[in-house]
Structure 1
């Protein structure tokens, strides 16, 4: 993966188009974000730790808001002040892992 591709900043229209692949995510205040509803604190922390491990492996870290039965994850590529492929790629990875962890 080239740095040029990674650091290409998407327009709002392009972001909204790409979010069609991630229907549980939305664009808000310069970030793509998703809220996860969990059963309890333990499930919230377990999910957060899994996401934190993925983020560290990708060296791309989200902002997160953690509460008893909810986790909000927000991405932007800070060094270019916009949404890039890094954000979408990690959001897709989070979707995969969350679908396994939050089976209902």
Structure 2
């Protein structure tokens, strides 16, 4: 998987309004009704990450979960990260 250029990342982010680029990764914070709902979301993300063999960095702050995605093998952001972002956006 090839690392995307800055222009490619900027273009892809136009279709991912809730995601932003930060230090060579894409990131989004999901807010849930409470801690239990946030943890249920994290468990679904963990299952999906195992299936896809692509593991985000996960930060949990009570009812907020921040996912940070980067393809370490490629040294930055790839299509694989945006594909995972699309899938994460669909997790309920």
TM-score (structure 2 length as normaliser) = 0.95
CA RMSD of aligned residues (A): 0.8
Q: Report the equivalent of 1:3.
A: none
Measured after TM superposition, the shift of residue 19 of structure 1 is 1.0
Q: For 1:33 and 1:48, how far apart are their aligned partners in 2?
A: 15
Query: Which of these two proteins has the greater Rg computed from alpha carbons?
Result: 1
Q: Report the equivalent of 2:14.
A: 20
* Unaligned ranges ≥5, structure 1: 1-6
Measured after TM superposition, the shift of residue 20 of structure 1 is 1.2
Measured after TM superposition, the shift of residue 69 of structure 1 is 1.2
Q: Are positions 1:61 and 2:55 aligned together?
A: yes
The number of residues matched between the two structures is 92
Greater than 4 Å deviation, 4+ residue runs: none
Which one has a larger percent helix, Structure 1 or Structure 2? 1
Q: Deviation per CA, 1:25-80, whole angstroms, max 9, x where unpaired?
A: 01011110100111110011011111111111000000010121110000000111
Given the alignment, which residue of 79, 85, 89 partners 2:73? Answer: 79
Q: For 1:68 and 1:38, how far apart are their aligned partners in 2?
A: 9
